[in-house]
Chains A and B, each alone.
Chain A
Amino acid sequence: MADRPDNSAFDGSNKPQLALHVPEPKYRPGDTVDFTDLNVPPAGEQARPDETCDPKETAPLCHDLVRVLGDDDKAHGPWDPKLSPDVLRTMLGHFATVRAFDERMFRGQRQGKTSFYMKCTGEEATSVSAAMALASDDMVFPSYRQQGVLIARGYPLIEMINQIYSNKGDKLKGRQLPIMYSSREHSFFSISGNLATQTPQAVGWAMASAIKGDSRIAATWLGEGSTAEGDFHSACTFAAVYNAPVILNVINNQWAISSFSGFAGAERTTFAARALGYGLAGLRVDGNDPLAVYASQKWAADRARANAGPTLIEYFTYRAEGHSTSDDPSGYRSAQEREEWPLGDPVMRLKRHLIALGEWDEDRQAEMDENAATHVKQTTKEAEKNGILGHGLHHPFRTMFEDVFEELPWHLKEQAEQAVHEREVKFPEGLPNR
């Protein structure tokens, strides 16, 4: 290698050799998992500063873990949102629906009814409980695992399934991937497949809301892996500089497909601690504790609404299933991780809490789960009447040219008419869906 420096002179020199560090997760397939070194503080011991506090006051919380539900299934400490049993049961109902929905859609993909699906198992609280803490018209800029937000906001399941099956009922007219939902009516921004682009857009939306003197805030979700995108840093900078009424939710579910959180920097610090450098308020929260998720999101929402500033929240959770239907996690992580996860399962924790309150029992839970499964099943059958992926011509041919621009420009009009004309000449007997 004549064009490279000759390093042989360094052999035997007493200068210390440099060594590259490549992060490696603790456990690989087959390994015995031991999470005892994870620092899980007792519930209720974290201070709750005033919503309008200086961001500096949240610094200790960026390295702590806000928890409400204790091992005794009771709510503890200043972060207890003191929700009524009715609200808790509603939350549990949304959990049941999300889980039943995920189960059925995943199997539907395995049956070829759609090409792709993503479950949120184990992370339900980070969407459902957070959404319940926001106003229903606060603008949400989600990532791809926030089906819980839509379900909590009452978006009809059939609309979700129509899109997943890409059938003639698909409101997005066959233009968007399954699960990349979009509903203006439910203040749910069109999900972007380009990771983290939604974060500066959420900040921009929030700034616009502030410019207009509106009362609505924005909230966005992204995975811990995509905090490495430049978007996230731009979003944090703008949020801090203009004091934007926005909540940045980082879902630290430990895994970005097969890359563990260490590849996004988790070996060095917490994701919540990113807030400190920007001057944002930061909270690190047990993402499997529905009450802590609700309370922290409410805290941040109240803060934003009071013009007291943006908040970055890290929800510490675990992706219990594969990344998507295209992923097989048994190839890169230990199956024991899910079982040993020290923060438990959010659905079970809320259920046990309600039972501990004397407001719930196993029979009612079984009934709730069964009702959810039946509801999802019936809705699926209903949606299948509109067709499934690859069967039939679901969308009128001409709609392909629509919505590229606000008004159909002449060149697309020309293309559309040419195409329709071509079909008429070639298939004079007529085709469906012209």
Chain B
Amino acid sequence: MAIELKMPALSPTMEEGTLAKWLVKEGDTISPGDILAEIETDKATMEFEAIDEGTVGKLLVEEGTENVAVGTVIAMLAGEGEDASDIEAPEPSKNADTAEDVEGEGKDVGRDPSEAEITKPSATREPVSDPAIPEGTEMVSTSVREALRDAMAEEMRKDERVFVMGEEVAEYQGAYKVTQGLLDEFGPKRVIDTPITEYGFAGIGTGAAMGGLRPIVEFMTFNFAMQAIDHIINSAAKTNYMSGGQMRCPIVFRGPNAAASRVAAQHSQNYGPWYASVPGLIVICPYDSADAKGLLKAAIQCDDPVVFLENELVYGRSFDVPKLDDYTLPIGKARIMREGSDVTIVSYSIGVGLALDAAEKLAEDGIEAEVIDLRTLRPLDKQTVLESLAKTNRLVIAEEGWPTCSIASEIQAICMEDGFDHLDAPVLRVTNEDVPLPYAANLEKMALIDTPRIIAAVKKVCYVD
């Protein structure tokens, strides 16, 4: 079979070059390593070597030809037992260019007017719901801090592979006391104090997860985890995919996220939208104690890497938690915190509390707001959001974070794409001001979202006032 010699690429970015000189002629016998031609680009000259032995059949591109596209067949080589003079130039359809440009593979897909119809979702999601809480189950008032600790302790009792590591998690019981009591129960080999390097222990945890354990990596706050983001995104989130499904990374990165009180710009940032943009990561951001417990347990059991974002200001708040063995919640399912028929307020984390307060005040004015807690930011439960929108026709998102490229913007996009026909008003977002968080108490207060701003946005979409 004749062998096609193609215009080579000197680098992955080279698209064309000059065939400066042929060093062989038709009929020449060549062996591997022989220099066949010189190719020039604006950056370098390279020698084009033979990889096979054979006889040069046809030279298809003359020397001195400029702008020869990479992949163009420049010569034909006769193989063993072939007569070089019989070799023909290849059919145009066999050229690399046409082979790459196959209809429907992306390059030439036109956007027909019927696109919206064609791409309409055909899959309907199987409904998942929280596990039923049997009648008469005792509800125990528990702080979010305790709920998180209980979730870790329960999973550590159940599964030997689970361990916690981070700065101050052992002797000090956690910078925010979330790991209280774990060292006593599980000992220093499963509750591990680390050197002060988020980057380091994120990498250690990622390696340990690949080594068959199930690490829970605590960041003192996610603000300090920016240096660890390379391990979280480039290693933990992508390795399963890049290894063709061979190497898993079941790990939980958890810790407080977003603004606390009076800790200023470097310690007051919501990373929810950052992590939620990354394929391969699960991102959970709960509000109350029951969700914190049930979802952290789910995160630890999950075979995928999970970023679990808590909120320092909520740690001390208490909520009811059902007293059940192994209370685990589904990942990727939003929760309707308050039913309503006039408007939907979507939120997550600390914003849920503000949204619920806003809903109570709005009820006094006769506006019944439905409040949705997203709980999981990736994958995002857009079905619950869209179903609520179909009922109320108006939607506001309350997010303690910046407005640009936020979860709020994502919800707006979803409403535009899939809920447009249900909208009676523009979707509004209520977020923090678009500035680094100031320290001064008055400035800090003005920069963060609050209940009055949510109420104002709701009234606007309801065309009240």
Contact = CB atoms under 8 A, between A and B. Distances in A.
B127 to A, nearest CB: 10
B230 A194 contact: yes
B100 interface: yes
Nearest to B280: A404
Nearest to B198: A234
Interface stretch (B81-89, B140-148, B231-239, B345-353): B231-239
A237 B195 contact: yes
B316 interface: no
Q: Which of A103, A192, A203, A410 has the most CB of B within 10 A?
A: A410
B379 interface: yes
Contacts of A414: 121-123, 125
Interface stretch (A108-116, A305-313, A345-353): A108-116
B217 to A, nearest CB: 10
Nearest to A425: B118
A235 B200 contact: yes
A10 B105 CA distance: 67
Interface stretch (B58-66, B202-210, B447-455): B202-210
B211 to A, nearest CB: 3
A204 B205 contact: yes
Interface stretch (A25-33, A285-293, A296-304, A385-393): A385-393
B248 A390 contact: no
A328 B44 contact: yes
Contact of B51 (A108, A204, A390): A108
Interface stretch (B2-10, B259-267, B397-405, B422-430): B2-10
B157 interface: no
A234 B200 contact: yes
Interface in B201-231: 201-213, 227, 230-231
Given A108-B51, A326-B10, A211 B243 contact: no
B126 interface: yes
Contacts, number: 234
Interface residues of B, number: 82
Interface string B159-184: 00001000000000000000000000
Contacts of A203: 203-204, 207
B147 to A, nearest CB: 25
B439 interface: no
A410 B123 contact: yes
B137 interface: no
A373 to B, nearest CB: 8
Contact of A390 (B96, B163, B380): B96
Q: Which of B208, B240, B248 has the most CB of A within 10 A?
A: B208
A172 B208 contact: no
Contact of B207 (A112, A204, A326, A421): A204
A211 B247 contact: no
Interface of B: 5-12, 32-33, 44, 46, 48-51, 70-71, 96, 99-100, 102-105, 109, 112, 114, 118-123, 125-126, 163, 189-190, 194-195, 197, 199-213, 227, 230-231, 234-235, 239-248, 279-280, 282, 302-304, 332, 379-380, 382
The 5 closest A-B pairs by CB, nearest first: A204-B207, A234-B200, A200-B203, A201-B207, A208-B211
